[in-house]
Amino acid sequence: MPGTRPLHGLQPREVDGLRLAALGLTTQQIADRLHISTKTADHHIHYVYTKIGVATRSAAALWAMRNGMAS
């Protein structure tokens, strides 16, 4: 979204990954959608966890839903 500030310092690409994770996609599926390696996708996902203060994918999904990033 042009002109908007990312939530909790998340970059647009991190938001994309978080949204996909919140939808239940696997790390491999996220990597495929974002055209990156599985290892890079996994690294990004865990980096997002740190930024939003969670430790699991389900907690990240809940955070994303509460912050209007996933339905």
Q: Domain for residue 1, yes or no?
A: no
Q: Domain for residue 33, yes or no?
A: yes
Q: Domain for residue 60, yes or no?
A: yes
For residue 51, give the CATH number of its domain.
1.10.10.10
Collapsing DSSP states into helix, strand and coil, what is residue 67?
A: coil
How far apart (Å, rounded) are the C-alpha atoms in residues 1 and 18? 15
Residue with tokens 């994918």: 57
Helices marked H in 23-56: 27-34, 38-52
Rounded (10°) CA dihedral 70, 67, 1, 3: 180
Q: Domain for residue 71, yes or no?
A: no
Residues 14-57 pLDDT 10s: 999 999 999 999 999 999 999 999 999 999 999 999 999 999 99
Domain containing residue 19: 9-66
Domains identified in the chain, total number:
1
State pTM to two decimals.
Answer: 0.83
Region 57-66 average pLDDT:
93
